[in-house]
Structure 1
Amino acid sequence: MKKYFLAFVLGTSLLTLAACGGGEENNTATDAPAEEGGGAVDTADAEKIFQQSCASCHGGNLEGGFGPNLQKVGDKYSQEEIEGIIANGQGQMKGGIIKGEEATTVAAWLAEQK
């Protein structure tokens, strides 16, 4: 019984790390990043980046899962605060999963989720 429990715990831990960790090879540059100062957000690019790098923990519809629900994250955090969380991590989320213009694009899109 102990062997099965240990295998389950180890397997679950590895899946969690694989789902939420790294993934830089999945990141692609965006052609139209969000403009600074409240410009229009390229929703399609933001959603694509989110699906590739974030949805495994936060859910495909922002409903949460291993990570928290983000459906109304814009009510709680500004774009700058969201970008800081993406860069530095928070809770069990490590920082830097997405970087640069991609992080700015996703942060701007998430800030609109209210």
Structure 2
Amino acid sequence: MKKWLLTIVFGSALVLGACGGGDDGGTEEPADDGGDTDTEESAGDNGDGGGAVDTAAAEEAYEQSCASCHGADLSGGAGPDLQNVGSNYSAEEIADIIENGKGSMPAGLATGEDKDNIAAWLAEMQ
């Protein structure tokens, strides 16, 4: 009887855990997009080979990975001010800094698509 009850409890936990998912970004994206073309901007001149910047995704990734040191408004704090970082660095250079770190900034705080979105978005800050 105990094995049967344990199996039911464990199975229920798996099912409920899978339903929670944590994929809140997928449900919010259409609401953020809403047909508004301001969420994606051209980034062809920032040295990343072209494409588009997903501004909403970049801002969300920045908040999670960078804002604690660089400030929610890019004004700096423990890290330097990033409000005009695009006038000093290309998207490729910013991506390299995010990937490898610089000064007291540790490497790899954002990776993959998040790193690329943040770099392209920050390169537009001029």
Give the structure-1-normalised TM-score: 0.68
1:97 matched to 2:109? The reply is yes
Query: Which residue pairs with 1:111 in the alignment?
Result: 123
1:52 matched to 2:69? The reply is no
1:37-61 C-alpha deviation (Å, 9 max, x unpaired)? 2222010000000011100000000
Q: Distance in 1 between matches of 2:107 and 2:79?
A: 14
Between structure 1 and structure 2, the one with the greater Rg is 2
List 4+ stretches of structure 1 deviating above 4 A.
Answer: 28-31
Say if 1:29 and 1:91 are closer, same or farther in 2 by CA, change over 3 A: farther
1:78-113 C-alpha deviation (Å, 9 max, x unpaired)? 000000000000010011000011100100000000
Say if 1:29 and 1:77 are closer, same or farther in 2 by CA, change over 3 A: farther
Name which structure has the greater RCO, CA cutoff 8 Å, separation 6+: 1
Query: Which residue pairs with 1:76 in the alignment?
Result: 88
Q: Which runs of 5+ in 2 are unaligned?
A: 1-23, 30-42
Q: Which runs of 5+ in 1 are unaligned?
A: 1-27
Question: How many residues are paired up?
Answer: 85
Aligned Cα root-mean-square deviation (Å): 2.4
Give the structure-2-normalised TM-score: 0.62
Q: Distance in 2 between matches of 1:87 and 1:40?
A: 20
Q: Percent identity?
A: 56
